[in-house]
């Protein structure tokens, strides 16, 4: 009798990879260099649009342009919709307006808007001119809303039914509508006589219910009704808070005009989190297509700000140059105090920025969180004061120096905890993005306080 484990090993298929195989990218590059259009079409034939987009993103800009030249038919609407924003905008810029118009016509309205809004004005007008009148009016209406608002993101294809219909009426209506329905939807919005949303029925519940049951008995009340002018980040927060799959969007009169879907909100949440991460690091959004010049241009301003704060910290050190000259141990140990404070401040800052972004940190609990971060910094300061006091005392055989660095450690880590929470709260209070400049200010505080505390105490106690 064969071993069941061996049987499983022999018959089980390898788990699919989430990444596009490196060999596929190499084959695509080879086909491009050979200008083999048939080979390119064969390589992309079986790929899911998301995988095709991933493969295109791995190419250099010159290779992407060559791909557009040799096989523009590969750049279908679904593939364009899956590309990252920078790559999509670049490729759309070199595609012919007629091709773009034909590619996006089969997409939902939110994806059409996403692609067209990234075009320059002349290219956008050329693409709109190639569309049907209905699609053109729909796109122009969406583009009239401000960027990063719910109006730009909303999908204008949705399923609505009056509250006096029953299940049978609704199912028959959807079958009759056919291709006019959204490509994918999970909920049916229930409206009153004025076409204002009053509830929602999940499709799964509808399909389990007898035909004669009225929708008014099945529907759940709307927990969220979204106005098109609200920021997309606010809409994403509502989706996260109420665990929504979709939500109705209404016009100025309260009538149903579109819907937001969870797939778009996932993209928004990812985009906002990425922006915060880049902001904390002092860089702008980056992509594989960025050049050396664009990377330097986005990072150099923040490096210049950091240089200014470093000069400020150096000025503090210069105040105690005589003390450092007389006691070399101060120069040896002072980077430790500043480094520990910087790390402690960064920890508090990361927690604070994330809590602000997720709406967990509010006015009502801010004092409790401020006290917690201060206390945590002070306790960590005491712990590492003991450690560094012992290290300094044994290293330099100087008990007074051990007490100085221990006291400086407590002071700096306590101040680091305070700075890590107060700086982002202060920036938010004045309407600035807490993630953008917080790290620079927190690092400045910890460096200046650390040097002042350690060198100042050292000058008073040891000299």
**Residue boundaries of the structural domains of the chain:** 22-144, 160-280, 292-462
Residue 296 predicted with pLDDT over 50:
yes
Fold observed for domain 160-280? CBS-domain (3.10.580)
Distance between CA 254 and CA 181 in Å, rounded?
22
Distance between CA 423 and CA 352 in Å, rounded?
9
Which pLDDT tens digit goes with each residue over 299-318?
777 778 778 888 888 888 88
Contact predicate 211/185, CB 8 Å = no
Give pLDDT, residue 286. Answer: 55
Contact predicate 417/377, CB 8 Å = yes
Give pLDDT, residue 3. Answer: 45
Backbone angles phi, psi at 189, to 5 degrees: -85, 130
Span 257-269, average pLDDT: 91
Domains 22-144 and 292-462 share a fold: no
Among 342, 418, 348, 383, which Cα is nearest to 334's?
Answer: 342
Give pLDDT, residue 281. Answer: 63
Residue 289 predicted with pLDDT over 70:
no
Give pLDDT, residue 9. Answer: 44
Copy the structure tokens of residue 373: 């971060």
Among 97, 100, 105, 46, which Cα is nearest to 73's?
Answer: 100
Q: How many CB atoms lie within 10 A of CB 151?
A: 25
Copy the structure tokens of residue 181: 């329905």
Give how far Cα 59 sits from Cα of 46, 65, 446, Å.
19, 10, 43
- Domain 292-462 matching CATH 3.40.50.1950: the answer reads no
Span 17-38, average pLDDT: 89
| Percentage of the residues of the chain whose pLDDT score is greater than 70 | 92
Give pLDDT, residue 284. Answer: 59
Close Cβ partners of 101 (under 8 Å, ≥ 6 residues apart): 127, 130, 131
Which pLDDT tens digit goes with each residue over 28-61?
999 999 999 999 999 999 899 999 999 999 999 9
Copy the structure tokens of residue 325: 């000259």
Stated as kind and residue range, the H or E segment containing 328 is helix 328-357
Copy the structure tokens of residue 392: 């300094």
Confidence class of residue 184 from pLDDT cuts 50, 70 and 90? confident
Span 289-299, average pLDDT: 68
Copy the structure tokens of residue 15: 């788990």
Fold observed for domain 22-144? MgtE N-terminal fold (1.25.60)
Confidence class of residue 94 from pLDDT cuts 50, 70 and 90? very high
Copy the structure tokens of residue 56: 């295109």
Mean pLDDT for all residues in the chain? 87
Task: For the chain, report the end-to-end CA distance as a whole number of angstroms.
Answer: 85
Distance between CA 214 and CA 409 in Å, rounded?
70
Give pLDDT, residue 291. Answer: 66
Distance between CA 70 and CA 259 in Å, rounded?
38
Stated as kind and residue range, the H or E segment containing 10 is helix 4-11
Distance between CA 42 and CA 44 in Å, rounded?
6
Distance between CA 189 and CA 180 in Å, rounded?
16
Span 220-245, average pLDDT: 92
DSSP three-state, residue 38: helix
Burial 63-89 (b: 16+ CB within 10 A, else e): bbebbbebbbebbbbbbbbbbeebbbb
DSSP three-state, residue 259: strand
Distance between CA 325 and CA 29 in Å, rounded?
61
Q: How many CB atoms lie within 10 A of CB 114?
A: 21
Copy the structure tokens of residue 277: 């991460």
The more confidently predicted of residues 354 and 162 is 162
Strands 246-250 and 256-261: antiparallel
Confidence class of residue 382 from pLDDT cuts 50, 70 and 90? very high
Label each residue of 156-222 as H, E or C.
CCCCEEECCCEHHHHHHHHHHHHHHCCCCCCEEEEECCCCCEEEEEEHHHHHHCCCCCEHHHHCECC
Distance between CA 107 and CA 81 in Å, rounded?
9
């Amino acid at each position: 009798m064969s071993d069941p484990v061996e049987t499983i090993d022999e018959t089980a298929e390898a788990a699919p990879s989430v990444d596009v195989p490196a060999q596929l990218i190499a084959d695509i590059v080879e086909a491009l260099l050979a200008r083999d259009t048939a080979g390119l079409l064969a390589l992309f034939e079986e790929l899911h649009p998301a995988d095709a987009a991933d493969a295109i993103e791995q190419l250099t800009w010159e290779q992407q342009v060559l791909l557009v030249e040799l096989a523009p038919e590969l750049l279908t609407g679904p593939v364009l919709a899956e590309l990252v924003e920078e790559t999509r905008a670049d490729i759309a810029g070199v595609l012919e307006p007629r091709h773009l118009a034909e590619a996006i016509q089969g997409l939902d309205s939110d994806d059409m808007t996403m692609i067209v809004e990234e075009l320059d004005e002349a290219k956008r007008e050329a693409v709109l001119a190639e569309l049907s009148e209905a699609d053109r009016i729909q796109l122009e209406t969406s583009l009239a809303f401000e960027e990063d608002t719910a109006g730009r993101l909303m999908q204008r294809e949705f399923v609505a039914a009056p509250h006096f219909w029953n299940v049978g009426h609704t199912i028959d209506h959807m079958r009759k509508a056919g291709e006019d329905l959204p490509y994918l939807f999970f909920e049916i919005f229930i409206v009153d006589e004025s076409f204002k949303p009053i509830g929602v029925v999940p499709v799964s519940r509808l399909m389990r219910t007898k035909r004669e049951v009225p929708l008014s008995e099945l529907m759940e009340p709307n927990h969220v009704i979204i106005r098109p002018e609200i920021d997309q980040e606010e809409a994403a927060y509502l989706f996260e808070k109420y665990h929504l799959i979709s939500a109705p969007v209404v016009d100025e009169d309260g009538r149903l005009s579109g819907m937001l879907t969870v797939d778009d909100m996932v993209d928004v949440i990812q985009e906002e989190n990425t922006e915060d991460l880049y902001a904390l690091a002092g860089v702008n959004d980056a992509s594989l297509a960025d050049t050396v010049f664009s990377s330097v241009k986005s990072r150099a301003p923040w490096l210049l700000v950091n240089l200014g704060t470093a000069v400020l910290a150096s000025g503090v050190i210069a105040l105690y140059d005589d003390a450092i000259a007389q006691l070399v141990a101060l120069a040896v140990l002072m980077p430790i105090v500043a480094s520990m404070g910087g790390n402690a401040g960064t920890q508090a800052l990361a927690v604070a920025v994330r809590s602000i972004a997720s709406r967990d940190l509010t006015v009502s609990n801010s004092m409790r969180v401020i006290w917690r971060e201060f206390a945590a910094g002070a306790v960590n300061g005491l712990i590492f004061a003991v450690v560094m006091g012992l290290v300094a005392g044994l290293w330099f055989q100087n008990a007074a120096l051990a007490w100085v660095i221990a006291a400086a450690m407590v002071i700096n880590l306590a101040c680091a905890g305070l700075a890590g929470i107060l700086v982002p709260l202060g920036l938010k209070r004045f309407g600035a993005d807490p993630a953008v400049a917080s790290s620079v200010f927190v690092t400045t505080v910890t460096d200046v306080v650390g040097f002042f505390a350690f060198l100042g105490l050292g000058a008073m106690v040891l000299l």
